[in-house]
């Protein structure tokens, strides 16, 4: 345990230092995000800092396996899928990859991960254990692809993607510990450590952005962690879906509205609820802080109810998502932006 805890702390420092290096590199190579009509920021800012999360987390996985904190199958799933998604994002950050090729890469990376973690386990729905077979594996594939893309969509203001990952990982680790699964806490804590190091530079006002390499990586790793946990206990899948509720609801609500309207959903836009909220408040910090509070004070207690009190996971998911859906509607998620918004 001492070795694994030390590893988490060391990785936080490595990510902190590596983000500084990447920031200097981005400035020297003019890898700068210049504000435009579809941006949520107003100051030119270096991008690509999420590579620090990728390198520090993936580099530590073999050490975590050696320390007994992770199986080789789970490590290979995250190493292969995470590295490939990050590489696609890195190349897209430095040039442009057509949407169809990015999507093909996303499906390939997700299929790799599912092969190593054995797909979707039995799902507990309404108190009934359901083995969905190949349909479940297909749903798990779509879930991973959606997770990595929605995380990309939601990484639009300072600190929000980092705070979401940090609170979800710490919340899941707390639940594992309280339910007697302390051996499961290390992978999410390792990811939290890598994110903390980057967050120092990304906290509002951000001195570097995550970029597609980091956001897509976080999305697929969080998805893998949730499916891997479901093999230990079906309730843990519901726990992760609840903890990630802010991103899932905002992204899905926004996508749904844009699809109905006939928009090209792969084009950049500023119509997520969090983007409208940041413009309404005039700053990123209040919105990022609000996401942190919602995750800690609302979603975590609901998730604890599922894990500790054996409450129905789907029913609690609905309860958790209802106020989030209201907030998405209140802040115009998916609507066409107008000068007044």
In a domain, 341, yes or no: no
pLDDT score at 268: 74
Structural domains counted in the chain: 1
pTM of the model: 0.95
Q: What number of other Cβ atoms are within 10 A of residue 295's Cβ?
A: 24
Residue owning tokens 């951000």? 206
> φ, ψ for residue 188 (rounded to 5)?
-65, -35
- CA of residue 11 relative to chain centroid, distance: 18
In a domain, 137, yes or no: yes
Is the pLDDT at 341 greater than 50? The verdict is: no
Q: Measure the CA–CA gap between 110 and 141, rounded to whole angstroms.
A: 6
In a domain, 335, yes or no: no
Q: Measure the CA–CA gap between 319 and 48, rounded to whole angstroms.
A: 36
In a domain, 338, yes or no: no
> φ, ψ for residue 190 (rounded to 5)?
-65, -45
Is the pLDDT at 38 greater than 80? The verdict is: no
Annotated binding site: 152, 212
Are 83 and 69 spatial neighbours (Cβ–Cβ below 8 Å)?
A: no
**Which residues on adjacent β-strands are paired with residue 123?**
130
Average pLDDT estimate for 214-223: 97
User: Higher confidence at residue 262 or residue 151?
Assistant: 151
- CA of residue 34 relative to chain centroid, distance: 24
In a domain, 337, yes or no: no
Average pLDDT estimate for 305-323: 96
In a domain, 75, yes or no: yes
Average pLDDT estimate for 35-63: 84
Question: In the chain, what's the furthest Cα-to-Cα distance?
Answer: 57
Positive or negative, the Cα torsion across 132, 138, 264, 164?
positive
Annotated binding site for Mg(2+): 152, 212
- CA of residue 70 relative to chain centroid, distance: 20
Residue owning tokens 């009509």? 37
> pLDDT tier at 340 (50, 70, 90 boundaries)?
very low
Q: Measure the CA–CA gap between 10 and 65, rounded to whole angstroms.
A: 16
In a domain, 102, yes or no: yes
Q: What is the pLDDT of residues 152-211, one digit of tens each?
A: 999 989 999 999 999 999 999 999 999 999 999 999 999 999 999 999 999 999 999 999
Q: What would the two tokens of residue 249 be?
A: 């609801």
Q: How far apart are the first and last CA of the chain?
A: 50
Number of separate helices (H) and strands (E) present in the chain: 14, 4
Helix, strand, or coil (residue 128): strand
Q: Measure the CA–CA gap between 32 and 210, rounded to whole angstroms.
A: 12
In a domain, 251, yes or no: yes
Q: Measure the CA–CA gap between 253 and 50, rounded to whole angstroms.
A: 26
| DSSP 8-state symbol, 295 | I
Q: Which domain holds residue 100?
A: 2-330
Query: How does the average pLDDT of the chain come out, rounded?
Result: 92
pLDDT score at 7: 96
């Amino acid at each position: 345990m001492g070795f694994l805890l030390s590893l988490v702390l060391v990785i936080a420092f490595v990510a902190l230092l590596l983000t500084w290096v990447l920031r200097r590199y981005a400035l020297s190579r003019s890898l700068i995000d210049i504000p435009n009509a579809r941006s949520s920021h107003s100051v030119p800012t270096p991008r690509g800092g999420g590579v620090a999360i990728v390198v520090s987390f993936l580099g530590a996985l073999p050490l975590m396996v050696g320390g007994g904190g992770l199986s080789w199958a789970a490590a290979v799933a995250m190493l292969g899928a995470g590295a490939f998604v990050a590489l696609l994002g890195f190349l897209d950050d430095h040039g442009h990859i057509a949407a169809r090729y990015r999507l093909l890469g996303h499906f390939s990376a997700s299929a790799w991960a599912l092969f190593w973690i054995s797909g979707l386990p039995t799902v507990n729905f309404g108190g009934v254990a359901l083995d969905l077979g190949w349909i479940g594996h297909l749903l798990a594939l779509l879930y991973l692809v959606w997770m990595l893309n929605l995380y990309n969509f939601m990484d639009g203001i300072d600190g929000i993607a980092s705070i979401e990952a940090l609170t979800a990982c710490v919340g899941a680790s707390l639940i594992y510990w309280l339910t007697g699964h302390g051996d499961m806490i290390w992978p999410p804590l390792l990811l939290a450590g890598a994110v903390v190091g980057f967050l120092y530079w990304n906290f509002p006002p951000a001195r570097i952005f995550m970029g597609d390499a980091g956001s897509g990586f976080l999305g697929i790793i969080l998805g893998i962690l949730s499916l891997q946990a479901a093999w230990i206990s079906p309730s843990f899948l519901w726990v992760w879906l609840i903890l990630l509720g802010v991103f899932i609801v905002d992204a899905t609500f926004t996508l749904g509205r844009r699809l109905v309207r006939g928009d090209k959903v792969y084009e950049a836009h500023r119509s997520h609820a969090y983007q409208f909220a940041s413009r309404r408040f005039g700053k990123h910090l209040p919105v990022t802080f609000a996401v942190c509070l919602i995750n800690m004070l609302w979603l975590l207690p609901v998730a604890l109810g599922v894990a500790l009190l054996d409450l129905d996971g789907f029913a609690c998911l609905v309860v958790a998502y209802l106020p989030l859906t209201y907030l998405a509607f209140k802040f115009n998620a998916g609507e066409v932006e107008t000068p007044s918004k």
